[in-house]
Amino acid sequence: MSRVAVGQFDDLFQLGLADILKRDQVDFVDLQRGGISAYLRRALPDVILLNSTSTAANRLVEGIVNDYPTVRVITCSPVDQTMKVYPAFHHGESYTCPLEPAEIGRQVHG
């Protein structure tokens, strides 16, 4: 079972992500109220989902892929219909794919 940490999104989008992840039998942690950096120091998830529209998103991604190379990072936005995926051990290289429920499941399970 994949462990996924989910960053801050608006409430409706967050509920949709939670529903998709539950359906795909993913163990997920909602980091709406807590810090991602603090969580990473306590636990190491398989995947982190971040809001690409956040002002700190690029800085967070860069820090995670450098400091925690085993973690897959996925950025997405309710506005943009794509996800940007940073695979583990790829030193910040990324690719894009459609933001669709089935694709979220595929990307989370790697």
Q: What is the pTM of this model?
A: 0.91
CA gap 35, 83 in Å, rounded: 22
pLDDT per residue as tens digits for the range 58-109: 899 999 999 999 999 999 988 888 999 999 999 899 999 999 999 999 999 8
The alpha carbon dihedral of 8, 13, 14, 19 has a sign of negative
**Domains in the chain, please, with CATH?**
3-109 (3.40.50.2300)
> In the predicted model, what is the mean pLDDT of residues 17-29?
88
* 3-class SS of residue 67: helix
Band of pLDDT at residue 46, cut at 50, 70 and 90: very high
